[in-house]
Amino acid sequence: MQRTVPVDATTTAIDLFFRDRSEVIAAYLLEGEPGTKPAILETGPASCLTALEAGLAERGYRLDDLGAILVTHIHLDHAGAAGVIAQRVPDIPVYVNPVGAAHMIDPSRLLHSARRIYGAQMDPLWGAVVPIPAPRVVAVGDGEKILVAGRALRAIATPGHASHHHAFVDEATGTAFTGDVTGIALPGGSYVRPPTPPPDLDLDAWTVSLDRLAALGLRRLCLTHFGPRTDVANVLGQMRSRIWEFAGVLRPGWERGESVDELLETLRRHIRPAMLAALGEALAERYDLAGAMRMNIEGFVRYFEKRKTA
């Protein structure tokens, strides 16, 4: 079972085997100068903590060896295990977008919202979500540069998927760790699918975020769902067009008052030929593990409602 994938000499993707499936959620181990502590970028959910530890062990590390945690945003598939790790590594700082910092310190509202969505599946899917002491949560502003693992990373505010979303850019290597702003693009296929959950979906902001990344001249994207990609222009271009494509497919039905289930069927019919052609049946199914389709529809419904009110 392959748990780690080298990205470059000092970066390793760790497969978190979400729901016992490979290549759905990745964390990234960042190493640097000898004598510096490594960092982890994205923790995944606490339900995957054993897989994270196994991946670290393949590189000769334990959780106690980590010197920092960075998360692109606070959704549970990206940051859910941060509190549990912080409990076990008492001095570790957790770097996060300022909008999300309060929810890392007090996750009660985040958990309330998630439990409404996931119900009885909440704990099996995500595991424990633990508050992080306020002094350990480091809010990182747009454009701010931080030093972790002996490497300088610049935070780039990339809202659209979520208001509390950052990408982290290693300017020395031209690598961006992009969370969900660059979508779901699983190995073995060419299709890029946007994850569009409520409540923060904003297509205009997302387009600006993608344009900001495109202007950086990046050589590599490291996606949480899943892995490194060097076809930067292709991934960014697919995302830019697809968020608006999905909106165009769904809006007429929403205006007619169709239900979430009806809109879901509309989008599934629309994307299925292209996804099957690009991915095949088995890989297309794994995309739903990385981003639940029903939640994507609910995100668009919320987006349409907010724009109508505005």
Summarised one tens digit per residue, pLDDT across range 213-249 is 999 999 999 999 999 999 999 999 999 999 999 999 9
Residue 228 lies inside a defined structural domain of this protein: yes
In a domain, 20, yes or no: yes
- Give 68's DSSP letter: E
195-214 mean pLDDT? 96
Residue 32 inside a domain? The answer is yes
Residue 279 C-alpha from the chain's centroid: 21
Q: Please report, rounded to a whole number, the percentage of residues in the chain having pLDDT higher than 70.
A: 99
Q: Which domain holds residue 169?
A: 4-244
For residue 278, the model assigns a pLDDT of 81
On the question of pLDDT at 117 being above 80, the answer is no
**Does the structure show a pLDDT above 90 at 116?**
no
Report how far apart, in Å, the C-alpha atoms of 120 and of each of 114, 115, 126, 136, 181 are. Answer: 11, 8, 11, 31, 28
Whether the per-residue pLDDT at 53 is higher than 70: the answer is yes
* Encoded amino acid at 194, one letter: P
- The CA distance from 57 to 182, in Å, is 29
CATH number assigned to the domain comprising residue 39: 3.60.15.10
Computed over every residue of the chain, the mean pLDDT equals 94
CA distance 226 to 240: 18
For residue 283, tell me if it sits in a domain: no
Q: Is residue 270 part of a domain?
A: no
Calculate what percentage of the chain has a pLDDT beyond 90: 82
Q: Which residues pair with 5 in a beta bridge?
A: 13
Residue 297 falls inside a structural domain: no
Select from 296, 241, 225 the least CA-distant residue to 267: 296
**Residue 22 within any structural domain of the chain:** yes
Q: Is the pLDDT score of 310 beyond 70?
A: no
Tens digits of residue pLDDT in 123-171? 888 999 999 999 999 999 999 999 999 999 999 999 999 999 999 999 9
The rounded distance, in Å, linking the Cα atoms of 295 and 95 is 27
What value does the mean pLDDT take over residues 111-115?
84
* pLDDT at position 25 over 80: yes
278 lies in some domain: no
The model's pTM: 0.95
Residue 304: other Cβ atoms inside 10 A: 17
Tell me how many domains the chain contains.
1
